[in-house]
Amino acid sequence: MKTISVKNLNKTFTYYKKPEGLKGSIKALFRREKLAKHAVRDVSFEIGKGEFVGFIGPNGAGKTTTLKMLSGILYPTSGQVSVLGYNPSKRENAYKMRISIVMGQKSQLNPVLPPIEGFNLYQKIYEIPETIYRKRLKDMAEMLEVADVLNVEVRKLSLGQRMKCELMSAILHKPDVLFLDEPTIGLDVVSQKRLREFLKQYNEKYETTIILTSHYMDDVQDLCQRLIVINEGKIGYDGPIDKLISDYSTEKTVSLEFDKRVARRDLEEYGEVASEDPYQAEIVMPSEDAPARIAAIIKKFPVNDINISGVTLEEVVADLFGQKA
């Protein structure tokens, strides 16, 4: 049985349109125009134990709404959801003890208390034995480099320190499933890297099933092997990241450095020369022909250094969203 199974999941929000001005407000007392927003449309997927899956899409695509339905925060309009064999909508305590969710823009630690007070509370809630709790707390604090701020008020911590503590509070009970919604939003590059390293180690050590939403493609590419792309509430792609990139990589850019001067006209037969000086050049060529052309270049010219690059995940995703728009 899959850890997470979603079939034909739908979520529709209803709301009312309010005309502007006093006259509109009075009119709305007697007659209101009802509108509907289809946040998630017929979404289906399965995720196995220990998978680290990227769940991405533009703002308003339905990512957070889907995670909230998987965690039991929201009820689906229709469809079936099973996580660890539970129906999240029932919000059973046994289910809530085995999952956790981290939302980058919402805090679950009390801002006027130090993190250690929140951790001690979660120990009681999740009934973690004292010995296990203390060892787990020490190990995670050292790995995330926050051991020296555990007794400082949350509101006085930097954003990076706060997010690390938020993550610790979410996984102290070692959940089987972890939902991460923009966990690195607003963090500096160093903090992002440290958080990614920790999550990768945690996933490998405990085989925790993790779903990650993020607008930072470095997060997704470093941590996930599988990608689910959602846009306007519908899934547009579900599969390996490498396959998505290769499907879109129709061209390779080959950067060359030469020991001797090389004329532009001699390079043009191998592809489009994007930039060139006597000792350096960039050539754009079809991906399928690149190996043969590169071999011919190396054989014919005095190549000192070579670098081959293709389309990035960020470019692929931007193109997917642009096409859908």
Closest CA to 316 of 235, 265, 246: 246
pLDDT of residue 66: 94
Do 212 and 255 fall into the same domain?
Answer: no
104 and 227 both lie in a single domain = yes
Domain tally, the chain: 2
Do 119 and 219 lie in a common domain? yes
Residues 235 and 110 in one domain: yes
Same domain for 219 and 116: yes
Which pLDDT belongs to residue 36? 86
* Tens-place pLDDT, residues 31-48: 777 788 899 999 999 999
143 or 316: which leads in pLDDT: 143
CB atoms within 10 A of CB 117: 15
The CATH number for 261's domain is: 3.30.70.1150
The yes-or-no verdict on residue 269 having pLDDT over 70 is yes
Taking the whole predicted model, whether its pTM rises above 0.85 is answered as no
Q: Are residues 237 and 262 in the same domain?
A: no
133 and 180: one domain?
Answer: yes
Indicate whether 170 belongs to any domain.
Answer: yes
Q: With 50 as the cut, is the pLDDT of residue 148 above it?
A: yes
Of the listed ranges 214-223, 242-251, 280-289, the least confidently predicted one is 242-251
Tens of pLDDT, residues 178-209: 999 988 888 888 888 888 999 999 999 999 99
The rounded distance, in Å, linking the Cα atoms of 314 and 316 is 5
The residue out of 198, 226, 245 marking a domain boundary is 245
Instruction: Kindly state whether residue 18 falls inside one of the protein's structural domains.
Output: no
Q: If we measure between CA atoms, which residue out of 229, 231, 228 comes closest to residue 46?
A: 228
Residue 174 is part of a domain; what is its CATH number? 3.40.50.300
DSSP tally for the chain: helices H, then strands E: 12, 13
- 123 plus 66 within the same structural domain: yes
Tell me which amino acid residue 209 is: T
Domain hosting residue 254, numbered range: 250-309
Q: Does the residue 39 lie in any domain? A: no
